[in-house]
Amino acid sequence: MPPVKVEQELTDGWRMLGTLTLEGHSGYAYQHLWNAISRTGLALLGGLIVFSLLIPWICKRLLRPLAEINQQLSLIRKRQYGAELPIPWIKELKEVASSVNQLVSERKRDMLQQRLKITQLGKQQEASSHLPLVNLQSVDEGWQQQHFYSTQGNILLYRRLLPRRSFSGETSLIELEQAIAYWLNQEYEGLALPLSLLANPHWPALQNTLIKVPKGRIIDWRWDLAILPADAMASFMALEGAGLELAFSAIPINNEVLSQLDPIYPTFISLGVTNDPLYWNLVSQSLHGSGYILLAEASSIDDIDTLRAWGIDGHANGATQ
């Protein structure tokens, strides 16, 4: 930047006294320019920092209702229903959130009505727990296996390992750990355990062992208790949190039990199927509405087409043992 230079002639009447020259110092001009640039740069930098902090917060606040709606819709696709969505402050999303809440409320109401109807019909049903399990094949002297195939075709859905002598609250920790080690060395996805095992004094140690089991394995709980133990849900949640899947067999089909299972979303429900089309159609509709796969582990019905028509997803076929 060239320095500013001003010249002025000095006169006294007609006499020329001289010329006065004023020239700005270049350093002073540059100093002013630098100060102006520094102030502008600091202002821009400060504004950038403020905006970099505000923009993510604003975007998060604006997008949070959309994320909540998307999460709820994802649960609905899986036939799972979470808590009611809060009504967002954004006008355009209020109607969407209200519609989703209404849909969830209607689904829950329909599910409750179905379950109450099943509970009433179940009181008139003959107990199916006496039906022998089918397609039980010997593995060795201590274990049996059971395979479930789809009623839609010869597609293998699930394989589980069952001890010949069921575990109980008195089974030793060594025997339980040996059973788990044996299961892990086999190709079966599921291991059948009785619900009463939760009352075993060694259960906390056994739970720590199960938590280390590779993900994707299935603990198949056989319902052999009248009431679910108080700490059972915490154990189920811990196992699911570790990557294990849960299945249940021989459960009482009523609203209370199904409501207890809702938070853990079991993969399979295995039941003994009796000859009552109306009842089992309602049961299958209710379980499918919750996203469960219904398997016939024991049945007095041999015709696969009949089971499929009743809504049964899989069956254990083969000779009764």
Tell which phi-psi region holds residue 33, choosing left (phi > 0), alpha (psi between -120 and 50) or beta. Answer: alpha
pLDDT at 227: 84
**From CA 316, how far away is CA 321, in angstroms rounded?**
12
pLDDT at 24: 66
pLDDT at 319: 39
* CA nearest neighbour of 158 among 266, 302, 260: 266
**Tokens 């007095």 map to which residue?**
300
What's 227's DSSP letter?
A: S
**From CA 90, how far away is CA 95, in angstroms rounded?**
10
Instruction: Please state the pTM of the whole predicted model.
Output: 0.74
Tell which phi-psi region holds residue 179, choosing left (phi > 0), alpha (psi between -120 and 50) or beta. Answer: alpha
What's 320's DSSP letter?
A: B
pLDDT at 129: 60
pLDDT digits (tens, 9 = 90+) for 188-230: 999 999 998 988 888 999 999 999 988 889 999 999 888 888 8
pLDDT at 29: 65
Decide if 219 contacts 247 (C-beta within 8 A): yes
**From CA 118, how far away is CA 113, in angstroms rounded?**
9
Q: Which domains does the chain have, with CATH numbers?
A: 125-315 (3.20.20.450)
CA 309, 314, 319, 321 torsion: positive or negative? negative
Decide if 272 contacts 296 (C-beta within 8 A): yes
pLDDT at 91: 76
pLDDT at 3: 64
Contacts of residue 222, Cβ cutoff 8 Å, sequence gap at least 6: 166, 192, 193, 194, 195, 248, 249, 250
Amino acid sitting at position 205: A
**From CA 204, how far away is CA 227, in angstroms rounded?**
20
Beta bridge partners of 21: 7
The segments of the chain whose pLDDT lies below 70 read 1-4, 24-29, 126-130, 318-321
